[in-house]
């Protein structure tokens, strides 16, 4: 309040002009913090070469997740080109690895994928745990997945898990929580972006992303649609510009604000 400011000036001996600058700055900083908004990221994953990543960006997509290893035991030949196109379009790129369980040697599947990716920038390397040719032996399945994750970590990659309640239950058992420290991307095709439909499993209290719609068409290519469950904040940067003259004259102080990240829902 004004009385508080005056009392502070009297007790500390601070020049009233400097106090005015301080109060002016704090006022607009407070207003800007109130304007800080929470936004969700939207993205797609693909199992083929997408024809137009720039179009995806213009349609509000923020991240792009191509398949880079296939369930038949080989690197996806479209992986590198998809990553290249995503970068050119300004999309953040993850990738997913669909394990070939019957092929064995999970560590080699990881190293083959890393070699195929080369120098392309990838954020999260998702290990796809869904029902396809997994044996009924939970212990063996856990060991297979863990070896993949360990190899990713050993190579300095950020691993994540793609699955859902029923897949996890059948493949490794709901009680296996050893990987709950990794990001979780869960699938539930209810065509709603709300992550409140998440049913906890595997020790994950909150998912990182939700895949809410299966194969659909966007920008001329087949995609699955996902949304972030732990939204990012938009950031606002402030700069207080003044000279020695401005310090002596409150009217000369220029407080400017610049939004450095802007994301649309």
**Active site residues per annotation:** 45, 128, 130
- Cβ-count burial of 56 within 10 angstroms (0-12 exposed, 13-18 middle, 19+ buried)? buried
Cα gap 226→193, rounded to integer Å: 8
Cα gap 163→235, rounded to integer Å: 31
Classified as helix, coil or strand, 203 is coil
Classified as helix, coil or strand, 55 is helix
Cα gap 244→35, rounded to integer Å: 31
Cα gap 56→118, rounded to integer Å: 24
Residue 220: Cβ within 10 Å count: 10
Query: What is the DSSP secondary-structure string of 92-110?
Result: EE-EEE---GGG--HHHHH
231: left (phi over 0), alpha (psi -120 to 50) or beta: beta
Query: Which of 54, 52, 96, 61 is CA-nearest to residue 75?
Result: 96
Cα gap 262→30, rounded to integer Å: 19
């Amino acid at each position: 309040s004004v009385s508080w400011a005056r009392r502070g000036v009297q007790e500390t001996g601070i020049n009233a002009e400097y106090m005015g600058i301080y109060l002016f700055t704090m006022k607009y900083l407070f207003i800007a913090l109130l304007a800080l908004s929470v936004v969700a990221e939207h993205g797609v994953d693909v199992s083929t070469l997408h024809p137009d990543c720039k179009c995806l960006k213009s349609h509000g997509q923020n991240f792009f997740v191509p398949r880079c290893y296939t369930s038949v035991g080989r690197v996806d030949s479209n992986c590198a080109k998809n990553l290249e196109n995503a970068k050119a379009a300004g999309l953040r790129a993850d990738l997913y690895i669909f394990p070939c369980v019957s092929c064995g040697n999970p560590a080699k599947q990881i190293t083959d994928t890393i070699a195929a990716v080369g120098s392309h920038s990838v954020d999260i390397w998702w290990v796809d745990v869904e029902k396809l040719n997994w044996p009924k032996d939970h212990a063996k399945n856990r060991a297979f997945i863990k070896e993949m994750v360990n190899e990713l970590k050993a190579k300095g990659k950020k691993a994540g898990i793609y699955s859902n309640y029923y897949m996890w239950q059948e493949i490794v058992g709901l009680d296996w929580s050893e990987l709950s420290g990794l990001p979780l991307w869960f699938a539930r095709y209810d065509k709603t972006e709300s992550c409140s439909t998440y049913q906890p499993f595997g020790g994950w209290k909150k998912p990182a992303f939700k895949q809410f719609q299966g194969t659909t068409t966007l920008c001329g290519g087949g995609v699955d649609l996902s949304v972030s469950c732990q939204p990012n904040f938009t950031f606002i940067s402030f700069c207080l510009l003044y000279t020695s003259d401005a310090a002596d004259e409150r009217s000369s102080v220029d407080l400017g604000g610049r939004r450095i990240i802007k994301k649309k829902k």
